[in-house]
């Protein structure tokens, strides 16, 4: 007799397979099981083992948080812990984040969680946030995406706002699609509705630079001049904790010599 938990687990598998745009045959080949067996698991005609669920979730690149939900749906205990960064077990990871942030100075760097909430930042970030109109955007928990694109946040000082906004929204759109996270979907809808007019772009933006088509820069108008940055994202390579798996470090590097000179001068 089919149980509700088995059917729910099958629904999870089907949903994530479709999210990855894989047919049953393609995924069965990828997971090295028969298409018939996969069909039985998705329909609830077969009860998946704990090991099989974890194997399939790994092949589908399901986020650790959702793997726990999938296990619970099948009647198994969760495998992945979710610790606070202040937990003693997270000391090494916390130290690694602090080392990366501190080591990146005098250039700005910050760490965010899965919903783009600010987790930590180095000392170089604060000066770039000076003069923001809406101080509530800087009150914890700070959503970095909202802070960047809100009309009373950084947006009026982003010289290439249309370009940077399109980059951030596209990134958020892909992240929401890959994770299936409703909070990210809601954030995307909110940010997409923000106006892009009434900024300082036309007053401060120099002639367009495509940087050879290599990257989209962040061009920020400051009292010290126009700063241009390129950004990188760093994640933990082999996380087994949910919190750790959802943290990303965003580091900003000077995109031109003048930006590097200004930042170093300010730090000195």
pLDDT in tens, 59-69: 999 999 999 99
**Number of structural domains the chain divides into:** 2
CA angle at residue 223 from 218 to 224, to 5 degrees? Answer: 75
Residues 18 and 116 in one domain: no
Same domain for 36 and 136: no
How many helices and strands in the chain, by DSSP H and E? 12, 5
Within a domain: 81:
no
120 with 38, same domain? no
Answer yes or no: do 68 and 103 share one domain.
Answer: no
Pair 145, 191 in one domain: yes
Same domain, 127 and 198: yes
Residue 93 covered by a domain: yes
Residues 62 and 97 occupy one common structural domain: no
Split at pLDDT 50, 70, 90, the class of 190 is very high
Q: Are 65 and 79 in contact (CB under 8 A)?
A: no
In a domain, 83, yes or no: no
Question: CB–CB of 74/9 below 8 Å?
Answer: yes
Kindly report, residue by residue over 3-46, the tens digit of the pLDDT.
444 448 999 999 999 999 999 999 999 999 999 999 999 999 99
Tell me whether residue 140 is in a domain: yes
Residues 59 and 186 in one domain: no
Q: Is the pLDDT of residue 2 over 70?
A: no
Domain boundary among 16, 41, 73: 73
Domain containing residue 219: 88-267
pLDDT at 119: 97
Residue 50 in any domain: the answer is yes
95 in any annotated domain: yes
CA-to-CA distance for 138 and 130, rounded, in angstroms? 10
Mean pLDDT over 252-261 rounds to: 96
CATH number of the CATH domain containing 20:
1.10.260.40
List the CATH number of the domain containing 130: 3.30.450.180
Residue 215 has pLDDT above 90, yes or no: no
Residue 236 has φ and ψ, to the nearest 5°, of: -70, 135
pLDDT digits (tens, 9 = 90+) for 75-128: 999 999 999 999 999 999 999 999 999 999 999 999 999 999 999 999 999 999
Based on the fold, state whether residues 31 and 107 are members of the same structural domain.
no
Using CA atoms, how far residue 255 sits from 41, 109, 165, 216, in Å, is 50, 15, 18, 10
Q: Which of 45, 73, 101 is the last residue of a domain?
A: 73
Asked if 66 and 134 sit in the same domain, the reply is no
Same domain, 105 and 223: yes
Lowest mean pLDDT of 58-62, 70-74, 111-115, 130-134, name the range.
Answer: 130-134
- The encoded tokens of residue 112 equal 């965010």
Task: Provide mean pLDDT across the span 179-195.
Answer: 95
229 backbone dihedrals φ, ψ, rounded to 5°: -125, 150
Domain boundary among 73, 98, 124: 73
Please, are residues 87 and 95 in contact by the beta-carbon 8 Å criterion? no
Under 8 Å between Cβ of 228 and 218:
yes
Q: Which residues contact 232 (CB under 8 A, 6 or more apart)?
A: 250, 251, 253
pTM for the predicted model, two decimal places: 0.86
Same domain, 248 and 183: yes
Stretch among 44-53, 170-179, 194-203 having the lowest mean pLDDT: 194-203
For residue 41, the surrounding DSSP H or E stretch is helix 35-43
- Residue 126 belongs to a domain: yes
């Amino acid at each position: 007799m089919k149980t509700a938990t088995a059917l729910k687990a099958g629904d999870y598998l089907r949903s994530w397979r479709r999210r990855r745009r894989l047919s049953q045959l393609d995924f069965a080949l990828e997971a090295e099981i028969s298409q018939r067996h996969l069909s039985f698991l998705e329909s609830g005609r077969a009860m998946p083992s704990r090991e099989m669920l974890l194997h399939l979730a790994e092949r589908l690149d399901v986020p650790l948080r959702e793997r726990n939900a999938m296990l619970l749906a099948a009647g198994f205990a969760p495998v992945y812990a979710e610790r606070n960064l202040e937990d003693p077990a997270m000391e090494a990871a916390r130290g690694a984040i602090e080392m990366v942030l501190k080591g990146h100075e005098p250039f700005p760097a910050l760490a965010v969680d899965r919903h783009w909430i600010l987790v930590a930042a180095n000392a170089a970030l604060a000066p770039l946030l000076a003069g923001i109109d809406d101080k509530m955007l800087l009150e914890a928990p700070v959503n970095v995406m909202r802070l960047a694109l809100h009309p009373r946040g950084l947006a009026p000082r982003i010289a290439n706002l249309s370009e940077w906004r399109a980059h951030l929204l596209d990134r958020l759109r892909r992240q929401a699609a890959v994770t299936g996270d409703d909070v990210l979907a809601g954030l995307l809808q909110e940010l997409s509705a923000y106006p892009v007019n009434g900024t300082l772009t036309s007053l401060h933006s120099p002639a367009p630079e495509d940087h050879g088509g290599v990257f989209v820069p962040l061009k920020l108008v400051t009292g010290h001049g126009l700063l241009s940055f390129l950004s990188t994202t760093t994640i933990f390579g082999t996380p087994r904790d949910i919190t750790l798996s959802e943290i990303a470090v965003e580091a900003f590097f000077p995109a031109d010599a003048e930006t590097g000179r200004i930042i170093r001068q300010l730090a000195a």
